[in-house]
């Protein structure tokens, strides 16, 4: 059938329109391709020329600056110092990591052990992870690596930060130290931060560094770098800095801490000083101490063995990890418990003949001749054992145990410090559960004077005497502020103890130091504005047999050092308006109350804000104290020698 002229004309118009649209589309496509080709060949020619040489773009993490740690006055306790290092990336090493490392060893100090360790790390991690070959390079060593980069594919010189502790031994047990991430560290973490996968990345191992790791670490940044076919870094394409860690300010007073350690000298001992009103820990000194910088740099076998074989245990933080029978310092607890229960009245008097017989066993007082008739104040002043044996039988162990907990003993205090000991606050249920035995009256008598099963740390003893001074359940605090924001102070509740009972015990321990027959009268303070109250204690280490008592107890100076009694003291000052509480434990210090003079000196330094004047000491002691003060090697805390926080 023939088409009409009209149909033919309509069909021609449609074809012409389609041809036009197709032509326009083809022209646009050709124009777009032409513009893109021009962009690639002219504008981006340099970039593609480099990529044509098999260049690659790598994404690398940038470790953040670790947060700084300061004392309460802004003195730097833990900082960061510049660290030059050489790293290698397996993917960029051209398949010959071993050869590259041996060539690198010709330029910088690198032992076969270093090379072997690096090869192990290279195999253990992803091909794109930078492996630190050597750090703490000198500027000359870093320059040699940079100049010879073309011959060292995959090796990159880097400038980073490393932890540094400017006060060395002073803050080792409190601040702690950092070290490389270990397999055991990673195993303890459910979702490890990618930063932790970087070999030799350092995290907190002990102390505040470990317990505040998440706050101090910060978050990683990233950078894009371009490397050529032989692994040489051509340029940095992009960088996004991470978030630095938070800065922490501790409650510790670095000057007081330094003085406390110097005052302890070469003894195996511990000092804790706390601000009564706030619970701020002003000093937490464990002697002897150690250099944390050695652990950051990688401690030598010789140095580590020296620490481990030292019988004074320098690596242990005795202030919170050490637990000791509190000895007669515990009589404060026994007295308060008996008073609160009503088993002891304020006007009660008890006769001490030098011993007491209970269930066929004789318990001796330290004064074998006896103290005669005493009230509570006299019993505390002269530290009469028989008085407290008697009141303990009246009130029982459950009363004593409950009071010990009220005063902060047998409690694991919540502080960012490693291995805080809970101590031991025994009662009938404890002995039944852990010893499978019934509680005996002899156990109560031993506990009454801080012996037997009772164990306390220097920190707990400081909390005990702080609460006695404050009359409230003040909690210890170590973090003062975070990034300049003050940490909250938990309001303290009044102790559930009659104020008259607290007053009686305070009067008794005032007599310990200031009374004519006080056991620590030799450690008294003469300045009327700084009068100290306190309680001595002797913690028996070895058992004394009945036969030895018959023939005469061997003195501490006649037995080996590690068999001598521990010397303890707790106290606070000023007596009328308490500001600072202190506890001191001198391991195997004997029974000559040498802990009391140390406590006095630490309290005076804290209250005076520096070396106390000789007028604060009894006239008969001033010559000896002057010689001692002059012999002490104290740190220079002038502004020119110690970095401080910026205001």
Q: How far is CA 639 from CA 166, 254, 260, 488, 608, in A?
A: 13, 13, 21, 29, 20
**Three-point CA angle 539, 540, 541, nearest 5°:** 115
CA 108 to chain centre: 36
Q: Which whole-number Å values give the CA distances from 582 to 35, 189, 388, 508, 596, in the listed order?
A: 81, 37, 24, 17, 10
The count of C-alpha atoms lying within 13 angstroms of the C-alpha of 348, restricted to the half-sphere facing its C-beta, is 17
Do 313 and 269 contact (CB within 8 A), yes or no?
no
Pairing of strands 248-250, 479-482: antiparallel
Tell me how far apart the alpha carbons of residues 581 and 426 are, in angstroms, rounded to a whole number: 25
DSSP 327: G
The burial of 589, by beta-carbon neighbours within 10 Å (0-12 exposed, 13-18 middle, 19 or more buried), is given as buried
The two beta strands, 248-250 and 69-70, are: parallel
Sheet of strand 221-227, all strands in order from the earlier edge strand to the far edge: 56-62, 221-227, 233-240
Closest to 505 in 3D by CA, of 388, 406, 404, 380: 380
Give the separation between CA 571 and CA 461, rounded to whole angstroms.
10
The CA angle 44-48-52, to the nearest 5 degrees, is 170
CA-only gyration radius of the chain, Å: 36
Q: What number of other Cβ atoms are within 10 A of residue 74's Cβ?
A: 14
Residue 345 CB-density burial (10 A; 0-12 exposed, 13-18 middle, 19+ buried) = exposed
Asked about 328 being catalytic, the answer comes back as yes
Q: Which helix (H) or strand (E) holds 633?
A: none
Cα-based angle 20, 26, 29 (whole degrees, multiple of 5): 140
Helices (H), 39-178: 45-51, 97-105, 112-124, 139-147, 172-175
Instruction: Say if residue 288 is preceded by a cis peptide, omega within 30 of 0.
Output: yes
Helix boundaries (H) for 269-352: 293-297, 301-309, 331-341
Q: How far apart are the first and last CA of the chain?
A: 101
**Set 328, 418, 539, 599: catalytic member:** 328
Nearest-angstrom CA–CA distance, 158 and 443: 64
Cα 385 off chain centre by: 37
Q: Write down the residue that tokens 């800065």 correspond to.
A: 247
Q: Annotated active-site positions, please?
A: 328
């Amino acid at each position: 059938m023939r088409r009409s002229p009209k149909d033919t004309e309509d069909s021609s118009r449609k074809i012409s329109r389609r041809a036009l649209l197709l032509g326009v589309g083809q022209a646009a496509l050709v124009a777009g391709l032409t513009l893109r080709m021009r962009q690639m060949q002219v504008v981006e020619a340099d970039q593609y020329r480099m990529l044509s040489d098999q260049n690659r773009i790598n994404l690398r993490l940038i470790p953040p600056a670790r947060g700084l740690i300061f004392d309460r006055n802004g003195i730097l306790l833990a900082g960061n110092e510049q660290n030059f290092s050489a790293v290698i990336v397996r993917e960029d090493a051209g398949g010959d990591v071993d050869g590259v490392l041996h060539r690198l060893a010709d330029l910088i100090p690198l032992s076969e052990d270093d090379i072997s360790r690096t090869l192990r790390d290279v195999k253990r991690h992803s091909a794109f992870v930078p492996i630190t070959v050597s750090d703490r390079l000198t500027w000359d060593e870093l320059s040699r690596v940079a100049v010879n980069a073309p011959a060292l594919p995959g090796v990159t010189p880097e400038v980073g930060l490393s932890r540094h502790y400017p006060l060395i031994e002073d803050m080792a047990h409190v601040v702690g130290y950092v070290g490389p991430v270990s397999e055991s560290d990673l195993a303890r973490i459910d979702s490890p931060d990618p930063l932790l996968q970087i070999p030799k990345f350092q995290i907190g191992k002990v102390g505040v560094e470990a317990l505040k790791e998440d706050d101090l670490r910060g978050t990683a940044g990233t950078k894009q770098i371009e490397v050529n076919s032989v692994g040489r870094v051509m340029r940095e394409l992009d960088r996004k800095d991470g978030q630095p860690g938070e800065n922490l300010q501790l409650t510790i007073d670095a000057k007081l801490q330094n003085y406390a350690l110097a005052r302890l000298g070469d003894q195996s001992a511990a000092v804790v000083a706390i601000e009564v009103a706030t619970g701020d820990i002003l000093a937490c000194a464990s002697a002897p101490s150690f250099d944390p910088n050695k652990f950051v740099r990688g401690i030598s076998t010789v140095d580590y063995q020296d620490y481990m074989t030292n019988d004074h245990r320098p690596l242990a933080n005795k202030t919170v990890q050490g637990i000791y029978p509190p000895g007669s310092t515990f009589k404060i607890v026994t007295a308060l418990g008996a008073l609160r229960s009503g088993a002891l009245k304020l006007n009660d008097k008890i006769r001490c003949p030098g011993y007491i017989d209970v269930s066929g066993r004789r318990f001796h007082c330290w004064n074998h001749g006896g103290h005669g008739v005493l009230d509570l104040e006299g019993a505390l002043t002269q530290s009469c054992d028989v008085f407290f044996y008697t009141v303990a039988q009246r009130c029982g162990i459950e009363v004593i145990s409950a009071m010990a907990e009220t005063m902060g003993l047998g409690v694991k205090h919540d502080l960012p410090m490693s291995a805080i000991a809970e101590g031991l606050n025994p009662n009938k249920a404890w002995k039944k559960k852990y010893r499978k035995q019934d509680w005996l009256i002899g156990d109560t008598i031993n506990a009454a004077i801080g012996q037997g099963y009772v164990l306390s740390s220097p920190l707990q003893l400081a909390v005990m005497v702080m609460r006695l001074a404050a009359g409230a359940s003040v909690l210890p605090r170590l973090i003062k502020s975070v990034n300049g924001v003050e940490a909250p102070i938990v309001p303290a509740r009044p102790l559930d103890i009659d104020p008259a009972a607290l007053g009686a015990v305070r009067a008794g321990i005032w007599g310990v130091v200031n009374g004519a027959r006080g056991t620590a009268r030799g450690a008294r303070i003469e300045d009327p504005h700084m009068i100290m109250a306190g309680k001595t204690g002797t913690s028996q280490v070895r058992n004394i047999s009945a036969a030895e008592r018959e023939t005469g107890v061997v003195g501490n100076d006649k037995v080996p050092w590690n068999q001598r009694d521990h010397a303890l003291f707790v106290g606070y000052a000023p007596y009328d308006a308490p500001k600072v509480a202190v506890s001191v434990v001198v391991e195997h210090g004997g029974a000559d109350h040498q802990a009391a003079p140390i406590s006095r000196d630490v309290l005076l330094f804290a209250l005076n804000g520096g070396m106390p004047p000789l007028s604060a000491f009894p006239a008969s002691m001033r010559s000896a104290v002057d010689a001692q003060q002059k012999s002490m090697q104290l740190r220079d805390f002038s502004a020119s020698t110690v970095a401080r926080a910026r205001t």
